[in-house]
Structure 1
């Protein structure tokens, strides 16, 4: 199966949001596919994120990758995996109100559900910052399944302007199934933080599975010294199983 790609500027309350779509192309099948929102790291759609999107599309999903910093960076902006890129990405994630992130989630989910190539069944997946944003998308009742890979700022409630994210406090609103995946050697989500997330999900009665691997932060990114190919394959397999069952 090959994968086709396109882009659209979706209207949001804070301006156009460049969103990249990846669709499986099989000349023997023309039926619509389930949709997935893929949320990136703080660097937006880097080559590793694009390859991850293509991977999920090749599994049979219409994948949408929104630019999370569209209100502050020009369309097509990709921050570097360097100190400047990290500083800019970490700064932006703190100055954007959580309500803006939530508005963007509503827009991209609605865009997928209304897409001619989508069945209307939608899930979400994200890495790092995107893991937290996928968790926020899971608060939408239309999102049937969500995979969160090492979501940052979830345990501390520090995402967004003012650092007042209430994500865990709203966990009881999640109606779909949740997959949580962490690296045990991840300093951004330490042991105490992971326990806080687990306890909050358990107390809220969320339907979830929990997986921890001996891996570092960003083990799914197929560039750099922290990439763990074996663990990445396992993680993608877990997400594929979730979406196959739920979407």
Structure 2
């Protein structure tokens, strides 16, 4: 499908505004909506290409700027050491309730979008994989794809006490896709085993894949990119969304 030009909406929040970038198919049709969570770098070119790919497959895609409390609207952190350091600093500085409030506001916006059917899914990579997992805790999110979700097994997302994401896995009522790279130092075997065991304990409806790849293997910039495994990841997510959102 052809795409409309990228747009954005600044949603009012208690601490200012949160910019949500929107990509969707052309025309007046209505489509399921997906909240797309970025890495720690916010809405980079690879994230926009991911959104464009999903939108061209027939979805309204909204990308919230996850650090809107700390950085001016439109800020993109670079894929370098300063950008990585800043992204990691903010990842742990932001309180978990603020992540959740952002999620709910974005979902409500997508549900009421004039081109949305109201069906909701979530997709995320790295930090975004964890945030997508938390989005799955919302009862109206029917399908969620999490790629190399960080900090789930360490319970260390955000400021303060443990984030509780994995402890709350039993609240997930939709279908879940989890994909990890075996050579990802951020989520070692022990961590992956912990996550999968918890999903088994709680009876979540989930699909699980481990591939021979490093962290961020779906990012189409840099030496860790694996196009074949990236295609596998996108195909798996699209199959999930088409089955449960349509």
| TM-score, normalised with respect to structure 2 | 0.98
Task: Tell me the matched-pair count.
Answer: 244
Using the alignment, how far apart are the partners of 1:220 and 1:147 within structure 2? Answer: 13
Counterparts of residues 18-57 of structure 1 (less than 5 Å): 18-25=19-26, 27=27, 30-57=28-55
1:82-231 alignment to 2 at 5 Å? Answer: 82-231=80-229
Gapped regions of structure 2 (runs ≥ 5): none
Q: 2:8 matched to 1:3?
A: no
The Cα shift of 1:85 comes to: 0.3
Question: What's the offset of the Cα at 1:14?
Answer: 2.5
Report deviation, 1:15.
1.8
CA contact (8 A) 1:14 1:100 kept: no
For 2:161 and 2:151, the matched residues in 1 are separated by: 9
DSSP-derived class of the 1:71 partner? coil
Tell me, in whole angstroms, the C-alpha distance in 2 between the residues paired with 1:92 and 1:201. 28
For 1:44 and 1:188, the matched residues in 2 are separated by 19
- Measured against aligned partners, the alpha-carbon deviations of 1:50-74 in whole angstroms (never above 9, x if no partner) come to 0000000011000000000000000
Name the CA distance, whole Å, in 1 between partners of 2:14 and 2:135.
17
- Preserved CA contact (<8 Å) 1:13 1:103: no
Structure 2 CA distance for aligned equivalents of residues 43 and 31 of structure 1: 32
- 1:3 CA drift (Å): 1.1
CA RMSD of superposed structures (Å): 0.7
1:149-173 CA-to-partner distances (Å, cap 9, x unmatched) read 0000001100100251100100010
**Residue 14 (structure 1) aligns with:** 15
Could you tell me how far apart the structure 2 residues matched to 1:68 and 1:205 are? 30
4+ residue runs over 6 A deviation = none
